Chains A and B, each alone.
Chain A
Amino acid sequence: MSAPAVLAAATIPDAVTFALAAVICVVGALGVVLMRNPVHSALALVMTLFGVAVLFVEQDAQFLAAVQVIVYTGAIVVLFLFVIMLLGVDRRERVLADTFRGQRVVALVLGLMVLAEVVLLARTRWTTGAHAVAGPLDGPGSNVAKLGRSIFTTYLIPFEVTSALLVVAVVGAVVLARRPGLGEPSGEAPDEASGAFPVAPGAGAPGAGAPGSGAADAAGAGTAERTAGAGAGAGAEVTR
């Protein structure tokens, strides 16, 4: 296995940092899987993400660490929480009982096998010795600059494609979160009628933040509609 200078002897602070961050990651992961309350799972996920961010910093990926915290933790997990609240799935789930017999056992076995295989793979030859394509990691210049240069020159096309992907995602989110259209049987309409919401089916959701005068059903469809607009997509506006 080739050993660039980057892999030179580790220092004590690095090792300690790594150990701590690793523990945080694992504990968080276990928390995600084992917590009964989904809100608790989400918070455990935050813990893991923070740990991973620390590990990114450890590995000279400062920009990514920042992005991880801002985007992943700050936006995506928040999104998760929104939806958890919206759907009211914060009820407790019986984690230990399972609908399918043997599913958990098989899952555990398969998981352990995957772990074993990946670990084994990690320990064998995993480099081809080919030259760096995108550019060296070390060397002068900030991480951001190197990253930026690489993205906007070598990987320009993937960059453009991902921006298109984002547009698609936004449009998809908007479409998915719309109120049911004409003729679609929905239990919501009668509930709406009593409220101050405009009933017009398919006329678009009553707008983000429409002055929904408290159609006061809690877990009912009314809330769903109102907050559907709010929860649809990262910052997308529901259009009429």
Chain B
Amino acid sequence: MSVHASWYLTLAALLFTIGAVGLLVRRNVLVMFMCIELMLNAANLTFVTFARALNDIGGQVAVFFVLVVAAAEVVVGLGIIVAIFRRKVGATADDAHLLKG
């Protein structure tokens, strides 16, 4: 069978970290969104790993739903991004600070 589960978990952790750092560092809105997708994938990988390790199909079911929800989220998120950022060319995440307290 495949390698030990802990390798997968480490890989997933690494992907998650890279995604998180990317989210914090990048200013381009779409790249930030992609980093979020990266993190979701890391989570999916973890789920699948555990499904295998615990011999439980529930992990894969979880991934299934995560996939669905991620898709829906992307749809709505991109819609919002389009709605906010289509006015100005080259707008970054920093430009959307109207909700400043």
A and B, one complex? yes
Interface residues of A (CB under 8 A from B): 4, 6-11, 14-15, 17-18, 22, 25-26, 29-30, 32-33, 38, 41-42, 45, 48-49, 52, 55-56, 58-61, 63-64, 67-68, 71-72, 75-76, 79-80, 83-84, 86-89, 91, 93, 95, 98-99, 103-104, 106-108, 110-112, 114-115, 118-119, 122-123, 127, 132-138, 143, 146-147, 150-151, 154-155, 158-159, 162, 165-166, 168-170, 172-173, 176-177, 187, 219, 221, 224, 228, 231-234
26 inter-chain pairs at a CB distance below 8 angstroms, sorted by A residue, are A6-B1, A7-B5, A7-B52, A29-B14, A29-B19, A30-B18, A38-B30, A41-B31, A64-B44, A72-B70, A87-B30, A88-B89, A91-B89, A91-B90, A93-B92, A114-B13, A115-B16, A122-B10, A137-B56, A158-B65, A162-B65, A165-B69, A172-B79, A177-B82, A177-B83, A234-B71
Interface of B is mostly: helix
What 5 pairs across the A-B complex have the smallest Cβ distances?
Answer: A134-B58, A33-B22, A107-B24, A176-B79, A169-B72
Q: Which residues of A contact B72 (CB under 8 A)?
A: 162, 165-166, 168-169
What's the least CB distance linking B78 to chain A, in Å?
5
Interface SS of chain A: helix, strand, loop or mixed?
Answer: helix
Extra contacts besides A72-B70, A176-B82 (4): CB < 8 Å: A61-B52, A83-B30, A89-B85, A166-B68
Q: A137 and B55: CB pair below 8 A?
A: yes
Output the nearest chain B residue to A62 by Cβ-Cβ distance: B60
**Contact among B13, B30, B37, B45 with A76 in the assembled complex (CB-CB below 8 Å):** B37
Partner of B13, one of A84, A104, A118, A158: A118
Contact partner, A32, options B14, B34, B64, B73, Cβ 8 Å: B34
Q: How far is the CA of A84 from the CA of B80 in the complex (A)?
A: 13
A137 in contact with B57 (CB, 8 Å)? yes
Tell which of B9, B79, B92 touches A232, judged by Cβ atoms closer than 8 Å: B79
Distance between A107 CB and nearest chain B CB, rounded to angstroms: 4
Nearest chain A CB to B34 CB, angstrom units: 5
Q: Which residue of A lies closest to B56 (CB)?
A: A132
Q: In the complex where A25-B15, A132-B56 touch, is A107 in contact with B76 (Cβ < 8 A)?
A: no
Q: Is the CB of B75 within 8 A of A136?
A: no
Q: Residue among A61, A112, A228 with the most chain B CB within 10 A?
A: A61
Known: A61-B60, A76-B74, A136-B56. A10 touches B4 (CB 8 A): yes
Contacting residues of chain B (41-59) with chain A, CB-CB under 8 angstroms: 41, 44-45, 48-49, 51-59
A17 to B8, CA, bound (A): 12
Q: Which residues on the A side are within 8 Å of B16 (C-beta)?
A: 114-115, 118
Q: A58-B2, A173-B76 are known contacts. Are A33 and B21 too (CB-CB below 8 A)?
A: yes
Q: B10's closest neighbor in chain A, by CB? A: A119
Give every chain B residue within 8 A of A135 (Cβ-Cβ): 56-58
Taking a contact as CB atoms under 8 Å apart, the answer to whether B27 and A99 are in contact is yes
Question: Could you tell me if B82 and A122 are in contact, using CB atoms closer than 8 angstroms?
Answer: no
Q: Are B89 and A104 in contact (CB under 8 A)?
A: no
Q: Are B82 and A87 in contact (CB under 8 A)?
A: yes
Residues on A with beta carbons closer than 8 Å to the beta carbon of B13: 114-115, 118-119, 122
Look across to chain A and name the residue whose beta carbon is closest to the beta carbon of B85. Answer: A87
